[in-house]
Structure 1
Amino acid sequence: MDLHLTGKKALVTGSSNGLGEAIAKRLAAEGAFVVVHGRDRARAEAVARTITQAGGGAGLAIGDLATDEGADSVHAAATGDGPVDILVNNVGVYDPGRTWTDTASEDWAGFYNTNVLTSVRMIRRLVPAMRERGWGRVIQISSVTGEKPQASQPHYAATNGARNSLAAALARDLKHTGVTSNSVAAGGILTADALDKLTQLGLQNGWGHSWEEIEPRLVEELAPNAVGRIGRLEEYADVVAFLASPLSAYITGATLAVDGGWAA
């Protein structure tokens, strides 16, 4: 399917590795010029180089979005040669070991700054120009925990609920402008780092001797879903690419659960 992204420019925050990298590569494969963002220049350059070597177009924006100064730098780099049409707010952190009792107030504030205010900073800098041009896409990457919080990571669940609310509120503000705003609530994401850690966890708990044996048991024990496995990077990237495209014009203010039908 042609997503009609040729000629569009996308900024994917936190795209120097993991899900952000997968999204950047998917958008580039569809013809978009992608601005790769990160705090580590070498890693961001490596992703941009992979995209260009595959025949796509890529640029760089280096900066820490946890500060207004960093957001200004990223905005300047992303728009230096023309406006941004698609903003994917992917930057975020989580700590699965945190609970109510060992998460201090300053930790809550830090997580909110990274998981919510980084998005707000880029929306405030990029969306006004989208509104003026009459076309744009804003996509938040959140988590299913925003709608289905668990006992652990209360701060993480709260920030993802805020991300979903932010996307819906922005959609209301952008009505009749041609700019849409949506959120993708992710379930488990099988990154390379997660694969190693989860395999070790499975071995320690006796859930199998290989990833193929461990994965369905791990999912059943930790986060049951209707598919019986963890989501792959490309599956999330495909959803984001569709939401970023002109084909998704009738979807706005939505939180799309991409979680395998999580039943936890």
Structure 2
Amino acid sequence: MDLKFKTKRVLVTGSSAGLGEAIARLMAAEGAEVVVHGRNEERAATVARSINDTGGRAIYVLGDLSTDEGADAVANGALAGGPVDILVNNAGAYTPRPWLQVGVDDWRDSYNVNVLAYVRMIHRLLPAMKTLGWGRMVQIGSSGGIEPFALQPDYLAATAARHNLTVSLARELKGTGITSNTVAPGPMLVENTRDMLLNMAGQYGWGDNWADIERNAVEQFVQNDVGRFGKPEEIAAAVAYLSSPMADYVTGALLRVDGGHTRSV
């Protein structure tokens, strides 16, 4: 299927690893010119080089999106090659902690990293995008922003704010040809998650091989209808659809990709 990305430029924040890397690689494979973003030059450069070596088109930019100066550096680097047609706001961070171990300063820092960083990039890229008469703003949210649990309350509240800002932005963009949507992943099997589960396996008696560990972890902690953790490329596919012209009629939407983990509508 041709997603008509060959003339498009896309910035994927937080794309030097994990979900962002998977999104950047798929968008490049579909023909888009990709701007890889990270804070570590070696990792960001490695992803961009790998995309170029396999026939894609990629550059990389560096910057800490939790600061105005970092966001300026990322936006200026991305826009140096021309307007950005598609912004995928993916970068974020969390530390799994119970409620009473998350202080007010932690809440403030989490909101800055996980919400204001998104706002910074929207403010910096939207003016040029409006001149194109077409564009995409895609936020990465979380199933935990829909059905929160006790752990990491600061992060879950921040992801709920991402969902909310996506809808208000869609209303703001009425008539511009630009859409705003959210992809909300369920529990994902990225490197950090796998390492965490391997470390927990002995404590919870999940077994010695990965198939047993994953099955038992899903049953005890992240029950869903598919019976496994999600894969980064499954999130990338949802982002690619919402970023394509085929999704012109989709805006203000929240697309859950969670194996049925979320029980509410």
Fold agreement, TM-score > 0.5: yes
Amino acid at match of 1:138: M
1:94 aligns to what? 94
| SS of structure 2 residue aligned to 1:216 | helix
In the TM superposition, what whole-angstrom CA distance separates every residue of 1:41-63 from its partner, at most 9, and x where no partner exists? 11100000000001000011111
CA distance in 2, matches of 1:99, 1:8: 42
CA contact (8 A) 1:87 1:139 kept: yes
Q: Write out aligned runs for 1:41-56 (5 A).
A: 41-56=41-56
**Structure 1 segments of 4 or more deviating over 6 A?**
none
Mapping 1:187-206, distance limit 5 Å: 187-206=186-205
For residues 203-218 of structure 1, the aligned pairs below 5 Å read 203-218=202-217
Distance 1:70 1:39 in 2: 9
> Could you say what secondary structure the match of 2:180 adopts?
strand
Q: Tell me whether 213-222 or 27-36 shows the greater mean CA deviation.
A: 213-222
Question: What is the aligned partner in structure 1 of residue 32 from structure 2?
Answer: 32
Q: Deviation digits for residues 174-226 of structure 1, max 9, x if unmatched?
A: 01111000011111111123222212322331112211112121111001111
Q: Where do 1:160-199 residues align within 5 Å?
A: 160-199=159-198
Structure 1's unaligned 5+ residue stretches are none
- Aligned partner of 2:121 in structure 1 is 122
Q: State the Cα deviation string for residues 125-165 of structure 1 (Å, max 9, x = none).
A: 11122222110001101111111010121111110000000
Q: State the distance in 2 between where 1:177 and 1:202 align.
A: 50
Instruction: Render the CA deviation track for 1:91-135: whole Å, top value 9, x for unaligned.
Output: 111112x12211111110000000000100000011122222110
Read off the aligned partner of 2:221 and give its amino acid letter.
L
Aligned partner letter, 2:195: D
Distance 2:99 2:232 in 1: 30
3-state DSSP class of the match of 2:141? strand
Normalising by structure 2, report the TM-score. 0.97
| Identical counterparts, % of pairs | 54
Q: Note if contact 2:190-2:232 (Cα within 8 Å) is conserved in structure 1.
A: yes
Cα RMSD, aligned residues only:
1.1
The one-letter code sitting in structure 2 at the alignment partner of 1:155 is D
1:248 CA drift (Å): 0.9
Alpha-carbon distance in structure 2 between the residues aligned to 1:189 and 1:262: 11
Where does 1:246-261 land on structure 2 (aligned, <5 Å)? Answer: 246-261=245-260
Unaligned runs of 5+ in 2: none
Instruction: Provide the C-alpha distance between the structure 2 equivalents of 1:213 and 1:138, rounded to a whole number of angstroms.
Output: 39
SS of equivalent to 1:175: coil
Shift of 1:263: 4.8
Distance 2:262 2:166 in 1: 24
Q: Which residue of structure 1 lines up, in the alignment, with residue 133 of structure 2?
A: 134
Residue aligning to 2:20: 20
The 3-state SS of whatever aligns with 1:133 is: coil
**Is 223-232 or 187-196 further displaced after alignment?**
187-196
Contact 1:28–1:56, Cα closer than 8 Å, also in 2? yes
